[in-house]
Amino acid sequence: MGIHNVTGERLAKIVKSQQSLRAGQIIQGEILKIYPDNKAQIQLGAQKMVAQLEASLMIGEKYHFQVKTTDDVIHLKVLGDRIKGSDTANTINLIKQLGLGSSKVNTAFIQTLLNEKIPFDKNQLVKALQLLNGNAKNTNQTQQILKEMILRKLPMNDSVFQALLIKNSHTLSSQMKGLLGQLKSDRNYPQLVERLSQMLERPLTARPAILNEIITGTASNNQQFFNTLKATGTIDPAIDFNSWRSQWEPVQALMKQNANAPNEQLSGIKLPIQLNEMKVVQTLEQMIINKSGLLNQTREIIQLWDNKINQTAINNVGLTAQDFTKLKQQISQTLMPLLTTEQQVRMTSLLENNPAKLQQLLALVKTLNSEQVYTKADNFVKSLDQDKMFMLSNPKEQFLSQVRQTLLFTGLSYESQLVNNKLQQEPLPIKAMLMQLIQQSEGVIPERSQQLLHFINGMQIQSVNETNNFIQANLQIPGERLGLSNDFELEFEGRKMENGEINPDYCRILFYLDLANLNKTVIDMKIQKRSVAVTIFNDQENMREKSLSLQPMLKNGLEELNYQLSTVSFKPLQQTENQKMNQAVKSVNPSYKGVDYLI
């Protein structure tokens, strides 16, 4: 669950933004004032309105109302008598009016809706109670989710409920890691593994990146990177995968112990091979450049020599002198020029006319003819380049890169892109790959995939909340790639411009962080006329003194963006409980100005 817990329930931020009434809704109201001509001021939920009375109501009394129509004048129907006695008795009376079952759980939930002035209609309530009774293990959490669904007028079904349940009780990283751990033991989803790894794993330099690929492959019994290293000439052609895996088991144990060690600390681990990471990378890059030529030349060699070399193994005798000379000549003239020095040395060592060496030579040529080898090489080099660029970037660029990657990779706008034909076919966003996986597979992996899909759906549901003039946006970002111990959340709110975007001159940005040394921290930036007031909520001592040396940097950075730093203040975390986001709509009208409601 996110650090939003330190600021109280997220529901408090959307209550007033969702108070537009619609036909069928039921809400508790109070008669505040009586005016001439059977008019009265009433309070419905958080709103005060003037109503035309066609029923006999008493000032100061509370009633249950049902919205009948929402034309120019809203028509309200009084349900039952005035509210009197205990809340429970009044709630049970309302339940009877609606023809619903008055169990203890149902009564408590409906009473909560009434107490918190949340309008609902009977259809919503019936479906909400079904979900409530079907998820009775954590009644409080279930109620919070159902309240949000009612407030935001979301479809009252199990899919939406599960999406919000998973989103509110887990982090994006925990869901991704759970699935990634399952996928690494399966060879069928390389693109999904790559996408998840790019979002979760810390950027690596060449050596630890190669070691990580080797360990991942040996642990999951996946030979792709093993074959790719064979193609580079790094691995002795005589070694099979089982022997290779056994050699790396001690290294795997050491790396597991040093999982959080910096890149440079991993360089001291003794390896079963001589690893020159720079030459490996250079060879992979050269293979990618020469891919077309290598595939063509190796295919011709296989077509000409596959049967003859296999026959040498059966007969346990080499090729004829004439054939061996032709083979050497073909390899030297057509294949060798496309290879790096390291590959040429390895290939030359196999050019001996005996069955064992010829079999190893043929195996190496077939490896160089594998499309999967080049795909793996290309993905690895691209990932390495991205990590290098990421590590060379300044913190601001790293942060923005991770935000962009989350938006692009997860598929938060997948449906919109699909409808508008803006979806790139390769690679698909994570959401699309999950949907395919769930439809095509059975077992543990689809179950974990469904959990992550629920989470992404929950992110989509909670990502934007807007009215005509106001917008709130929320995004959760995996933090490990940035060196954070947990995910962090961003929340924006502000006035909406004509193009639908947040007005950068009048807005508010909150960062919910869980830092290794500072622990839970909330940064609240309020922007008014491009003047920025920063409030930092944290329970560490001497935060003000520690920040003094950094404030000039913040001031200068804001000035470069044409903003002015007005104040930097510090408060303990518990005070955030009373720091609520500005409400989207403040529809309060205490004076008599006409008729808004007809009762």
Pairwise CA distance, residues 176 & 193, whole Å: 10
Domain co-membership, 225 together with 133? no
233/369 same-domain check: yes
pLDDT reported for residue 194: 84
Please list the residues that pair with 570 across neighbouring strands.
536
Whether residues 361 and 220 share a domain: the answer is yes
Residues 143 and 52 in one domain: yes
SS3 (DSSP) at 532: strand
Q: Are 220 and 342 found together in one domain? A: yes
Query: pLDDT confidence of 309, banded at 50, 70, 90?
Result: very high
- Output the DSSP codes for 475-502: EEE--GGGT-SS-EEEEEEEEE-TTSSE
What pLDDT does residue 153 have?
Answer: 86
The answer to whether residue 417 is domain-embedded is no
CA-closest candidate to residue 222, choices 196, 199, 194, 203: 194
480 located within any domain: yes
Q: Are 154 and 124 in contact (CB under 8 A)?
A: no
Residue 283 reports pLDDT greater than 50: yes
Summarised one tens digit per residue, pLDDT across range 112-140 is 887 787 888 888 888 998 898 887 676 78
Q: Point out the domain boundary residue: 99, 130, 150.
A: 150
Q: Which domain holds residue 570?
A: 468-583
The domain total for the chain is 3
Domain final residue pick, 376, 397, 431 = 376
Q: Are residues 106 and 202 part of one domain?
A: no
pLDDT digits (tens, 9 = 90+) for 50-91: 776 666 777 777 777 777 665 666 677 777 666 666 667 777
In a domain, 348, yes or no: yes
Any idea what the CATH number is for the domain that residue 481 is in? 3.30.750
Residue of 390, 429, 427 whose CA lies nearest to 409: 429
Question: Residue 62 and residue 42: Cα distance in Å, rounded?
Answer: 9
- Shared domain for 228 and 131, answered yes or no, is no
Quick one: 343 and 288 in the same domain?
Answer: yes
The pLDDT value recorded for residue 108 is 84
End-to-end Cα separation, the chain, in angstroms: 44
- Pairing type for strands 597-598 and 74-83 reads parallel
Gyration radius of the chain over CA positions: 33
Does pLDDT of 468 surpass 50?
A: yes
Residue identified by tokens 């030359």 is 348
Kind and range of the H or E run holding 390: helix 371-392
218 in Cβ contact with 246 (< 8 Å): no
Does the residue 205 lie in any domain?
A: yes
For 425-461, write each residue's pLDDT tens digit.
567 899 999 999 998 877 888 999 999 999 999 999 9
pLDDT tens digits, one per residue of 529-572: 999 999 999 988 888 888 888 899 999 989 999 999 999 999 98
Give the percent of the chain with pLDDT over 90.
42
Q: pLDDT of 241-255, one tens digit each?
A: 999 999 998 888 877
Q: Are residues 207 and 83 in the same domain?
A: no
| pLDDT score of 582 more than 50 | no
In whole angstroms, give the CA distance from residue 583 to residue 494: 10
pLDDT score at 526: 93
**Average pLDDT of the chain to the nearest whole number:** 83
In a domain, 12, yes or no: yes
Q: Does 42 reside within a domain?
A: yes
Asked if residue 280 and residue 198 are part of one domain, the reply reads yes
> Which of 351, 376, 401 represents a domain boundary (last residue)?
376
Q: Residue 425: inside a domain, yes or no?
A: no
- pLDDT band per the 50, 70, 90 thresholds, residue 46: low
Residue-level pLDDT at 64 = 73
Q: Which residues, in sequence order, are CB contacts of 562 under 8 Å at separation 6+?
A: 530
The total number of residues shown for the chain amounts to 599
592: in domain: no
Whole-structure pTM value: 0.75
Whether the predicted pLDDT of 6 surpasses 60: no
* Domain identity same for 232 and 368: yes
Query: Does one domain contain both 111 and 234?
Result: no
